[in-house]
Each structure stands twice: as structure tokens, then as C-alpha cells.
Structure 1
């Protein structure tokens, strides 16, 4: 059975653990995902993250992105409003068979994690040359044991 990369990635993405979330703990990591040329490109919004806390792994066809934003100290603080999420963010995406997991690259710039996820060479579209005239490959095969006419 052939796997279609990212076909149902939203159904397979989950936030770490069974926490229900709150004003201080997010439930999601917004992403954009698109295909361009021979690669998929994923952008994940992770504003305010320490780049050292961002972890990207591939295991058994599942891409996992984990990052952590530490909450400011609560000691002696009287909050007037608290709208910035803190805690652990995690997103898991099932990859298809056509992805070259050995060549995935990642960068983090201006709060956005960008991944380039290339296709395997054999999964890339290729042009088949069409030749004019009869080609040896197109001739019908004749059995060597056929009786002469």
C-alpha cells in the first residue's frame, strides 16, 4: 500500500501529553505546509523560543517538533494580564514513504522554524523521452519454439 505524504497530517498531529491547556499552556503549534519543486516546506510559529530548546526528530516515519518557552518567575508578581503562552509545544506529523528523511534541514529565524523535507530521487517526477519510429523495445516478442509458417 502506498503512503501519501502529509495526506492526513492534521489527524495525526498531537500536542504533548493529555493537558487540556490554559492561558499559560498552549494547545497547538501553528504550521504552514506546502510542496515546492521536489521538497515539502514546513513553517512552524515558535515565537520567543530559545533556539536551543527546539528539537526536531524523525523516528519510524513520524516527524516530531518539540520546543519550550519558560514562564517568567511568578515570585512577587501581581499579573494584570497574561496572554503569552509558556510551556512545552509538540507537534507530530506522519511522513510518507516518498520523503528522504536523511536530508531534512531546519532553520530558526524571527520566531519561525522552517524545515525543508526533500523527496527521494525515485519519488521525483521524471520526463520519459518519446522516440519517433519503431523501437526495438516496442517490437512483439516471437517465441523461439514457434513453428515456421
Structure 2
């Protein structure tokens, strides 16, 4: 297999892509998938070729920031034939809703994928509310009044 040094049509495609996607280049270099699995959110960020030591993950309030650095493979003295791989520093911010617990966020990286696990906060999980029984009492004037139970339902007679 040989590598072409110059393909005018491929070069034109590459230049058009760079020009039209200048604002989305960081997004393209860190594609993401987010999903809810039970009581936690899973976020998968593709970071091929990035070693774990070159990933900075910070959480401040409800903002998760991911910074990654990828260095080019070529070294001084190498003759670069084709270089289409993005390298440099890339970053992405995720804004978490109030229903998530950023204090219990965990992260792992495997096979070039950064996996974030963010549990749903305890206060946001659905909980069962016990229904109380309503009771009727008489006030001093002999009229019956309804009393509200813990569930907010009232009974009257």
C-alpha cells in the first residue's frame, strides 16, 4: 500500500470541511453520548489516542469540564506525508441539572473512551408517600370540621 502525497479532491474536501465547521471543531474532536440508566446518568466521550494523564476533569457546582491534550505522533526529523488527525487541547463543558449529584460523580477511561457516571440526587428520586387516615372532630360550637391528613386529603361529614 502506498500513500498519495497530494490528492487535489481530498485536499479540497478537507479545506471545505475546515472552513464550514470552524465553530464546531472542538465538538467533532470529542463526540459524546449521554443516557440515563436507572438512577444514574452515563456519559461517554470519545478521546482516541489520549492517555489518562492528559485528561483533566473538574467539577464546579453543576458544571463538569473536560480538557484533553493529544500530541501528534510525528517527531522532529519525520517527513509527514499526511496529517489529518486533530491534536492540541480540546475542551467540553457539561451543565448538570439540579436533579443530579455532582459530588458523587465518578470517571473511568478505557479503550479511548472517557466514561462519566453521575447519580441522580436522593432528593430527586421518586419516593412513596404514605397516606394517612382522615379524622373528623367537633369544635366547641358543635359543628363538624374536617382535618387534613399527612397526604393533604381532607375528609368532611
The alignment's TM-score, normalised by the length of structure 1, stands at: 0.70
Q: Which residue in the other structure is 1:125 paired with?
A: 126
* RMSD of Structure 2 on Structure 1 (CA): 2.2
SS of match in other structure, 1:44: strand
Q: CA 1:47 to 1:148, structure 2 compared with 1: closer, same or farther past 3 Å?
A: same
The alignment's TM-score, normalised by the length of structure 2, stands at: 0.67
Asked if 1:98 is matched to 2:92, the reply is no
Q: Structure 2: give runs of 5+ residues left out of the alignment.
A: 1-21, 144-157
Task: State the alpha-carbon separation in 1 of the partners of residues 128 and 48 from structure 2.
Answer: 42
Q: Structure 1: give runs of 5+ residues left out of the alignment.
A: 1-19
Q: Which residue in the other structure is 2:141 paired with?
A: 147
1:78: how far off? 2.5
Task: State the alpha-carbon separation in 1 of the partners of residues 72 and 34 from structure 2.
Answer: 29
Q: Report how many aligned residue pairs link the two structures.
A: 119
Q: CA 1:113 to 1:33, structure 2 compared with 1: closer, same or farther past 3 Å?
A: same
CA contact (8 A) 2:74 2:80 kept: no
Q: Which residue in the other structure is 1:60 paired with?
A: 61
Per-residue deviation, residues 77-128 of structure 1 (Å, max 9, x unmatched): 3221112111111110111111111111100000000010001111112244
1:51: how far off? 0.5
Task: State the alpha-carbon separation in 2 of the partners of residues 143 and 82 from structure 1.
Answer: 87
CA contact (8 A) 2:61 2:102 kept: no
Deviates more, 1:112-121 or 1:76-85: 76-85
Asked if 1:75 is matched to 2:69, the reply is no
Greater Rg by CA: 2
Higher relative contact order by CA 8 Å / sep ≥ 6: 1 or 2? 1
Q: Which residue in the other structure is 1:9 paired with?
A: none
Structure 1's consecutive aligned runs of 4 or more residues displaced over 3 angstroms after TM superposition are 127-130
Task: State the alpha-carbon separation in 1 of the partners of residues 114 and 100 from structure 2.
Answer: 19
Task: State the alpha-carbon separation in 2 of the partners of residues 148 and 125 from structure 1.
Answer: 42
Q: Which residue in the other structure is 1:47 paired with?
A: 48
Higher share of residues assigned helix: 2
Q: CA 1:36 to 1:147, structure 2 compared with 1: closer, same or farther past 3 Å?
A: same
